[in-house]
């Protein structure tokens, strides 16, 4: 009796594994992947556009003055 029940259990497990996802589940997975890809593309586009705007912005005059005063101090330590 144990052998028959084990054989039936193995057959049921094999049936569930062999069936795989339904067409509806596949469509949902593809839709979720498309939404994720679109989200990543939007975030990348926003990141690139902000990087471009920062690169084209005029340089800060105080930043240049700060680097000029700290550079000689760094040379004196060595």
Domain membership of residue 30 (yes or no) is: yes
Domain membership of residue 47 (yes or no) is: yes
Domain membership of residue 51 (yes or no) is: yes
CA nearest neighbour of 39 among 31, 51, 49:
31
**Rounded mean pLDDT of 46-68?**
68
Q: What is the domain extent for residue 36?
A: 20-55
> With contact defined as beta carbons under 8 Å apart, do 29 and 21 qualify?
yes
pTM to 2 decimal places: 0.45
Domain membership of residue 74 (yes or no) is: no
pLDDT at 71 over 90: no
What confidence tier does 22 reach under pLDDT thresholds 50, 70, 90?
confident
Task: Report the domain count for the chain.
Answer: 1
For the chain, the C-alpha Rg in angstroms (whole number) is 31
CA distance 77 to 72: 9
Domain membership of residue 67 (yes or no) is: no
Domain membership of residue 37 (yes or no) is: yes
């Amino acid at each position: 009796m144990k052998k028959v029940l084990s054989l039936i259990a193995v057959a049921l497990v094999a049936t569930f594994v062999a069936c795989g996802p339904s067409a509806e589940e596949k469509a949902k997975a593809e839709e979720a992947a498309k939404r994720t890809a679109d989200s990543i593309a939007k975030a990348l586009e926003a990141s690139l556009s902000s990087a471009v705007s920062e690169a084209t912005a005029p340089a800060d005059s105080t930043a240049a003055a700060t680097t000029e005063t700290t550079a000689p101090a760094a040379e004196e330590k060595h």
